[in-house]
């Protein structure tokens, strides 16, 4: 481990420091941190609703679930105001911090970024009426404002604010007397740059829609999925999809949402066939199903980030990192990793790219071949994704105690992969932002 940490210090840390000083990455990091209240509130809402649903369907606590219905309704309302609009909040925060770093009006930057996001997603949705899908014009699909729209918010929010900043720096604005009230002066100075930026983003989207015939958000969600739909259960396919989910996740895109049609159409179908076979007393047909990822790979969420939380709590000396890990621990146990992924953050954090991608790939490879050799039952029961590690695999594999052993081994593997990078992250943070004396831990 010491050799790996030394290698990171010699080769990865200098590059990470250079990247970490980039204005855009700093603004993006601050944007994710700023919306942490939205992240935490949305995570708690999802956790409450999922636990009540699990109690009703898996434990048979009908009376308890009925009594908790008001809490479920409140959680639904909270979700609509948090994660359902996550990309909107991110665009606003990114625009603010990016404009602030460029020393221009941050409020105007936030507004330009939100406008750029709104122009870049479809104002067309479909509703099912009498068994038919009816298109509704001039209506936003709220799912495009959720975590599925993060990449769109980052890309077009940055483009909009950059155009806005170029106009300001070039003095392409109205020049007004200095005796105007501050708010009016800032509004008029932002008028021409704001219009230019908004029309610039609008032109980009118009060209993209004209050439491709679709909106950027829709293209991102649907264009990559079709070639993968008919592929089977081979090891290469399982490894590839795991890699894609992790890469998307590192860049702030909810990989599970983007790849849900692929995951569900291929592996959820296989899981349902296995469940039917077990119910009818027949041997299962498929080796790897949808629940296999949750049982053996994505404990704590995509990336196996529960082990990142454990590594921080065990080895990190940074009080800020440990505070975030403590907040993220409870959601992480129930496989909700937004607090740690967006709060630390892991997203676009160059020091964490290797373990975020590598740990799931190693866990997938090990679990796949262990299952193929018959050392553990394939997943053959539907288990809620919020089921904690160890318990979830045991139930999913039809009470196979060997699934517990496999899960523990995978968690140890992931912890081993994450730990050196936690040490390296501490060194980077101490070099760039030393802790105050009274906040240091000994």
| Per-residue pLDDT tens over the stretch 321-334 | 888 888 888 888 88
State the chain's maximal CA–CA distance in angstroms.
84
pLDDT of residue 10: 67
Query: How much is the pLDDT for 410?
Result: 93
pLDDT confidence of residue 413: 93
pLDDT value at position 311? 92
CB count in 10 Å sphere of residue 4: 15
pLDDT for res 15: 58
Range with lowest mean pLDDT among 107-111, 239-243, 408-412: 239-243
Over residues 271-295, mean pLDDT: 74
Could you give the count of Cα atoms lying within 13 Å of 284 in the half-sphere of its Cβ? 23
- Would the pLDDT of 139 be above 80? no
Residue 99 has pLDDT above 80, yes or no: yes
Q: Is the pLDDT score of 396 beyond 70?
A: yes
CA-closest candidate to residue 365, choices 418, 416, 297, 270: 297
pLDDT of 199 reads: 92
Instruction: Say which residue, 171 or 144, is predicted with more confidence.
Output: 171
What pLDDT band is residue 224 in, cutting at 50, 70 and 90? very low
Q: Provide mean pLDDT across the span 7-13.
A: 59
Mark residue 214 as left, alpha or beta (left: phi above 0; alpha: psi -120 to 50; beta: remaining). Answer: beta
pLDDT at 383: 74
Collect contacts of 24-27 with beta carbons under 8 A, ≥24 apart: 24/98, 24/158, 25/348, 26/97, 26/101, 27/94, 27/97, 27/98, 27/100, 27/101
Mean pLDDT of 146-157: 78
Question: Which tokens is 59 given?
Answer: 């434990």
In this prediction the pTM is: 0.59
Q: Which residue did the predictor score with more confidence, 321 or 349?
A: 321
Percent of the chain with pLDDT over 70: 75
pLDDT of 225 above 50: no
> What percent of the chain is modeled with pLDDT above 90?
13
Is residue 98 scored above 80 in pLDDT? yes
- pLDDT value, residue 408: 93
Contact in structure between 426 and 314 (CB atoms under 8 Å) = no
* Distance in Å from the first CA to the final CA of the chain: 22
Judged by average pLDDT, the poorest of 140-144, 192-196, 259-263, 339-343 is 259-263
Copy the structure tokens of residue 225.
């999925």
Decide: 375 and 63 in contact? Cβ < 8 Å: no
H-state helical runs in 344-434: 353-372, 391-396, 401-432
Res 227 pLDDT > 60: no
List all residues 6 or more positions away from 217 whose beta carbon is below 8 Å from its beta carbon. Answer: 120, 121, 122, 144, 148, 149, 152
- How many Cβ atoms sit within 10 Å of the Cβ of residue 136? 13
Q: For tokens 């404990």, name the residue.
A: 299
90 Cβ neighbours under 8 A, 6+ residues apart: 31, 32, 35, 150, 153, 154, 157
Q: Which residues contact 394 (CB under 8 A, 6 or more apart)?
A: 400, 401, 403, 404, 407
């Amino acid at each position: 481990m010491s050799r790996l940490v030394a290698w990171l210090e010699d080769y990865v840390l200098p590059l990470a420091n250079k990247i970490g000083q980039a204005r855009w990455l700093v603004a993006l990091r601050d944007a994710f941190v700023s919306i942490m209240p939205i992240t935490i509130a949305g995570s708690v809402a999802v956790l409450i609703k999922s636990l009540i649903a699990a109690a009703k369907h898996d434990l048979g606590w009908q009376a308890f679930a009925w009594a908790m219905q008001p809490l479920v309704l409140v959680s639904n309302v909270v979700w609509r105001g948090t994660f359902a609009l996550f990309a909107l909040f991110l665009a606003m925060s990114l625009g603010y911090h990016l404009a602030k770093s460029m020393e221009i009006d941050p409020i105007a930057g936030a507004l330009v970024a939100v406008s750029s996001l709104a122009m870049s997603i479809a104002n067309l949705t479909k509703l099912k009426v009498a068994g038919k899908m009816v298109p509704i014009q001039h209506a936003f699909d709220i799912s495009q404002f959720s975590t599925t729209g993060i990449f769109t918010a980052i890309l077009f929010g940055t483009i909009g604010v950059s155009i806005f900043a170029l106009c300001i720096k070039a003095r392409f604005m109205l020049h007004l007397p200095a005796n105007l009230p501050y708010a009016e002066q800032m509004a008029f100075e932002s008028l021409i740059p704001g219009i230019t930026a908004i029309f610039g983003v609008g032109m980009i989207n118009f060209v993209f829609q004209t050439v491709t015939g679709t909106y950027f958000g829709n293209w991102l969600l649907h264009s990559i999925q079709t070639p993968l739909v008919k592929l089977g259960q081979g090891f290469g396919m399982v490894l590839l999809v795991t890699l894609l989910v992790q890469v998307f996740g590192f860049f702030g895109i909810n990989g599970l949402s983007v790849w849900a049609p692929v995951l569900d159409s291929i592996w959820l179908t296989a899981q349902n066939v296995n469940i039917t076979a077990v119910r009818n007393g027949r041997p299962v047909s498929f080796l790897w199903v949808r629940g296999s990822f949750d049982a053996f790979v994505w404990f704590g969420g995509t990336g196996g980030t529960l082990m990142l939380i454990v590594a921080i709590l065990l080895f990190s000396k940074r009080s800020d990192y440990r505070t975030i890990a403590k907040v993220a621990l409870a959601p992480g146990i129930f496989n909700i990793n937004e607090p740690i992924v967006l709060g630390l953050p892991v997203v676009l954090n160059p020091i964490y790219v290797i373990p975020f991608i590598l740990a799931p790939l190693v866990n997938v490879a090990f679990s796949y071949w262990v299952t193929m050799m018959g050392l553990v039952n394939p997943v053959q029961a539907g288990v809620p994704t919020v089921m904690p590690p160890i318990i979830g695999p045991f139930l999913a594999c039809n009470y196979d105690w060997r699934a517990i052993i496999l899960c523990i081994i995978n968690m140890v593997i992931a912890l081993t992969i994450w730990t050196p990078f936690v040490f390296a992250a501490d060194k980077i943070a101490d070099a760039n932002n030393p802790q105050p004396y009274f906040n240091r831990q000994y």
